[in-house]
Structure 1
Amino acid sequence: MPLRNVSRSFAPLAAAVVLVATLGACTSSTSLVSARTQGYEISDSAQAQIRPGQSQELVTLVLGSPQSTNTFSDQTAWYYVETKVRQTAFGLTMIDSRTVLAVYFDKNKKVVDKAIYTLKDGKTVTIQTRRTPSFGEDRTFIDSILQSF
């Protein structure tokens, strides 16, 4: 009978060892946090190739299509956005850095200037979640049915 008591005391310990070994095998091959780049990867050599006086076609050849464009009267701006993020295995995303390359064109579609913006240059905008009140009172579907009787 003493042998049986000894095996009962080792059962929880053996289960814990098997659980730790299993979880250790899972996490050793994959990382809990992965780093990746969202959007366009802006290289220093590509930035250096963009100079005033170049055409939009040449900019498209060097950088590709812009992610966003904007037009102000006779000037146009193309934006290339690079965002470096870390994402956990549980879906939590953290932004490490964001770089925006803005290329400005004149009315003749020639480069006038370029600028690089980072997270320090941005401003946080608070989005209002207020709703415009409707005329009358808000009723649920069941309230509407009960009201009709």
Structure 2
Amino acid sequence: MPLRTVHGSLAPLAAAVVLAVALGACSSSTSLINARTQGYEISDSAQAQIRNGQSQELVTLVLGSPQSTNTFGDQTAWYYVETKVRQTAFGLTMIDSRTVLAIYFDKNGKVVDKAVYSLKDGKTVTIETRRTPSFGEDRTFIDQILQSF
């Protein structure tokens, strides 16, 4: 059977198919950067519903349970954290924005204040990398096994 070649009328069709497949590979599902939200999605309408004097139960109905809580003296604070990040296909995560909604309650469980903090309000804390010296020998796991023989 003779081998057929692509004639002039089929060449544009083949080029269109190749172009469609190439452009289809550029969809968002295979993009190199994925934008997403970590934590809560805090909407402006939900923030507007929280007013002074409301109970903790009503705040839970509107926003859900808090991500973190803090009690200091007779005042309690609930924290809702929303972080918008971009993550590359290689695992590198870049923080675009962070919003912390803090709701403060009195000893009776009623809202007394609320505050919204952003990424610029945060402070970087450096982790101390020095090691406290200990007396005696620091042996590795292998040293301990070999010493037991």
Displacement of 1:128 in angstroms is 1.2
Return the letter of the residue paired with 1:96.
Answer: D
| 1:54 aligned counterpart, secondary structure | coil
Q: Give the whole-Å Cα distance in 2 for the aligned partners of 1:132 and 1:45.
A: 50
Q: Distance in 1 between matches of 2:144 and 2:54?
A: 64
More helix by share: 1
Distance 1:67-1:142 versus aligned 2 partners, 3 A rule: closer
Structure 1 SS opposite 2:125: coil
User: What TM-score, normalized by structure 1, do the two folds share?
Assistant: 0.77
The alpha carbon displacement at 1:143 in A equals 4.5
- Aligned residues: CA RMSD: 2.2
Question: Which residue type is aligned with residue 28 of structure 1?
Answer: C
Alignment partner, residue 8 of structure 2: none
Letter in 1 for 2:78: W
Identity of matched residues, %? 87
User: What letter corresponds to residue 26 of structure 2 in structure 1?
Assistant: S
Equivalent position SS for 1:28: coil
**CA apart distance, 1:130:** 2.3
The within-5 A match list for 1:61-76 is 61-76=61-76
SS class of match (1:76): strand
Equivalent-residue separation in structure 2 for 1:31 and 1:139 (angstroms): 47
In structure 2, distance between residues paired with 1:90 and 1:26: 22
* Counterpart among 25, 28, 38 of residue 26 in structure 2: 28
- Runs of 5+ consecutive residues of structure 1 not aligned to the other structure: 1-20
Match of 1:116 in 2: 116
Using the size of structure 2 for normalisation, the TM-score is 0.77
**Equivalent residue letter for 1:81:** V
Instruction: For residue 91 of structure 2, give the secondary structure of its aligned residue in structure 1.
Output: coil
Amino acid at match of 2:66: P
Determine the C-alpha separation between the residues in 1 that align with 2:132 and 2:24. Answer: 50
* SS of 2:114 mapped into structure 1: strand
After superposition, the C-alpha distances for 1:91-142 in whole angstroms (9 at most, x for unaligned) are 1000000000000000010000000000110000011122222212323355
